[in-house]
């Protein structure tokens, strides 16, 4: 069975809060921790509540920017992700940088992706099977930007593409993912 530490990013943000003195940066870290915990838990109300009114995400890939735009677009993205069990992931954060406007995280992203969700992505539409589940690993750098009210207004994500992408057997599915499946 694949083991994921779905709280790694939340734990990293909590640890950084222990040594951060700037009130502005503390609020940003707390907001991002709230966002990461809500995404982990599939808590859409809290997750969407961390977003500012002018939110726009940028997911940069070889084909260009494929991220959702506008608060409603980002809310629809998260709703679709959670409703289709695409929020079972681990972001193993290796680098965390904070200034007064942005938090940057870098590390390895490991995602459990239902085939139906993976099929929506152009890179996988030719081979993904809706009835299967996949493991997707990649290096990822994300710039989290904040507005004047310290709400999240951007997730600008850069990746060089998958380091690993393969079908998972039922025995490999993490317990967190299995718990979301219909009985």
What's residue 76's pLDDT?
97
pLDDT at 183 over 80: no
Length of the chain counted residue by residue:
183
Residue 97's contacts (CB-CB under 8 Å, 6 or more residues apart) are 103, 104
Inter-residue contact 30 to 117 (CB < 8 Å): no
Task: Give residue-wise pLDDT tens across range 43-66.
Answer: 999 999 999 999 999 998 777 888
pLDDT at 163 over 80: yes
- Domains belonging to the chain, first-starting first, are 8-178 (3.10.450.50)
Q: Is 85 left (phi over 0), alpha (psi -120 to 50) or beta?
A: left
Mean pLDDT of the region 6-34: 98
Instruction: Return the closest-CA partner of residue 87 out of 179, 16, 169.
Output: 179
pTM score of the predicted model: 0.94
Q: Map tokens 């954060």 to a residue.
A: 93
What's residue 67's pLDDT?
92
pLDDT at 31 over 90: yes
Task: Give residue-wise pLDDT tens across range 88-127.
Answer: 999 999 999 999 999 999 999 999 999 999 988 877 777 8
């Amino acid at each position: 069975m694949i083991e994921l530490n779905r709280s790694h990013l939340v734990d990293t943000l909590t640890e950084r809060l222990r040594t951060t003195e700037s009130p502005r940066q503390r609020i940003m870290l707390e907001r991002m921790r709230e966002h990461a915990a809500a995404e982990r838990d599939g808590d859409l109300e809290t997750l969407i509540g961390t977003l500012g009114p002018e939110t726009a995400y940028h997911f940069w890939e070889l084909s260009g920017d494929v991220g959702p735009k506008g608060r409603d677009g980002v809310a629809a993205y998260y709703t679709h992700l959670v409703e289709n069990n695409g929020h079972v992931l681990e972001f193993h954060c290796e680098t965390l940088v904070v200034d007064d406007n942005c938090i940057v995280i870098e590390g390895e992203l490991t995602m459990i992706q239902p085939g139906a969700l993976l099929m929506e992505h152009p890179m996988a539409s030719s081979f993904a099977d809706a009835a299967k589940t996949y493991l997707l690993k990649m290096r990822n750098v994300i710039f989290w930007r904040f507005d004047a009210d310290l709400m999240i207004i951007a997730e600008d994500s850069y990746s060089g593409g998958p380091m690993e992408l393969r079908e998972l057997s039922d025995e490999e599915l993490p317990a967190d993912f299995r718990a979301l499946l219909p009985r």
